[in-house]
Chain A
Amino acid sequence: MKRLALLLAIGLLLFTGLAGAQAIEPMPFKDHAQELRFQHLTAQLRCPMCQNETLADSNAPIARDLRHEVFRLMQEGRTDDQIKQFLVARYSDYVLYDPPVNPTTWVLWFGPLLILLAGAVVVVVTIRKRSRSGAPPPAIDHGDDW
């Protein structure tokens, strides 16, 4: 059973990998390294039109245009960071799947941590109160009284 699940998972991974690759039309790359770099870069960029797809995966016209733009900039010898900056200047941080840490994204980056800390504070306070008042720990519920 476990083995079957594993096989299924691998099959699914392979399939989604292939589906992603199909959106990329052939481009005149200089060599294989450049092609890999292009694929890596476009997989980190988000299509502005279709919110949950990368530039690499999307079939939207704007994604195709932006892929060509990324390709053109690579041919000009720009670095990955410069290409990202080029797109961010036009389409905002939205195009990055990995948003930068700045005042507008603090809630995004640190919000979950704050909630976790708040939970920890509640737990600590509750435990301290209980141990101070010397109340016996609540009976363990085996859940078999239903």
Chain B
Amino acid sequence: MSRLIPFFAFLALCGLFGFGIWWNSHHDQTAIPSPLIDKPAPEFALPELYDPSKVVTKKDLLGKPYLLNVFASWCVECAVEHPLLEAEGPSLGVELVGYNYKDQPDDAKAWLAQHGNPYQVLMADVSGQTAIDFGVYAAPETFLIDARGVIRYKRIGPFTPEVIEKELKPAIAALARESR
């Protein structure tokens, strides 16, 4: 029996390494789980992209759930995600809020003119200062924020049709059930 111990130890190691390979290929290694889930979204006051004299604050958006989509014209993956937001956005049942991140306003406007603008509200964070409070470190990132201003779900990286079906829609449905 004791002779078999090295063999079992070897099998255990194979299992461990196999799990490591499986685990690393099945989740995004660059995605850091946000500590802000189920916590109130940070306060913000950001100018609208198309009318910088108007400021959008967290209070303005309270009352109904919304999807805060962090994007930028310099972000390659955002252009991949964008058609999906345009196609799915209207049927999601929540407001789509654009968060233009560390971008030149003119670049952002040109980018939106080219790719389309699915956002009902669109604000610009040119310095990226407020984004630090949201724990944003790249784009695209997307937050689902409920009617009370609490972050309920976060997606790091672009949405895919699969992620929208399996993660986003159930999360939105859960919000709808609560409000009933």
Contact = CB atoms under 8 A, between A and B. Distances in A.
Contacts, number: 43
A61 interface: yes
B25 interface: no
Given A62-B137, A89-B35, A92-B35, A51 B29 contact: yes
A129 B137 contact: no
Interface of B: 2, 5, 9, 29-30, 32-36, 102, 128-129, 132-138
Contacts of B137: 48-49, 62, 91
A90 B29 contact: no
A90 B135 contact: yes
A92 B2 contact: no
A51 B34 CA distance: 15
Given A90-B35, A126-B5, 5 more contacts: A49-B138, A51-B29, A65-B128, A65-B132, A92-B34
Interface of A: 48-49, 51, 61-62, 65-66, 69, 88-92, 94, 122, 125-126, 129
A122 B5 contact: yes
A77 to B, nearest CB: 19
Contacts of B136: 62
A92 B33 contact: yes
Nearest to B33: A92
Contacts of A69: 132
Contacts of A48: 32, 137
B32 A90 contact: no
A90 B132 contact: yes
Contacts of A94: 32-33
Nearest to A94: B32
Given A48-B32, A51-B29, A65-B128, A90 B134 contact: yes
